[in-house]
Amino acid sequence: MRRRGLIVVRRRAHVLALVFLASLWLGTFALPADAQITTIETVPPDVDDEGRTAGERIDQVVVMLRVLGAVVVVSTAAYWWRTRPNANGVRNQNRDEHLVEAEDKIRIENEEVAR
């Protein structure tokens, strides 16, 4: 039963690797010069509609990027905290107990059918 799960994981990993390599292969045909043809270069005004200078707008973008980075770090830490294994190396004791109970029920049912 455990071996079957490993085969599924390996198969999924092979498919993901194939998709990744295919995307890299197709990405080699897109040159950066192709993207620059459609761009229009503009010079931003010194002061925008809200009265902010270019430096203030850049500062606002930097602050937003830092906030997004903090959100990513906090959410990653929270996810790790919720899914980390305990001292015995078992991720979720209740889940494993339910699996053992279900396997015991199946074993008992199979024994009854065999009689």
Q: In this structure, is residue 110 part of a structural domain?
A: yes
Domain region containing 22: 1-39
Length of the chain as a residue count: 115
The reply to whether 68 and 113 lie within a common domain is: yes
Statement: the pTM of the whole predicted model exceeds 0.95: no
Say if residues 93 and 86 touch (Cβ distance below 8 Å): yes
Q: What is the pLDDT of residues 71-103, one digit of tens each?
A: 999 999 998 888 876 666 655 555 556 667 777
The C-alpha atoms of residue 58 and residue 48 are separated, in whole angstroms, by: 12
- Residue 49 domain flag: no
Indicate the average pLDDT of the chain: 76
How many distinct structural domains can be found in the chain?
A: 2
Which tens digits make up the pLDDT trace of 2-11?
455 556 677 8
| Confidence band of 57 (pLDDT split at 50, 70, 90) | confident
Question: Is the model more confident about 57 or about 35?
Answer: 57
Helices (H), ranges, 1-115 = 2-27, 32-37, 54-83, 93-114
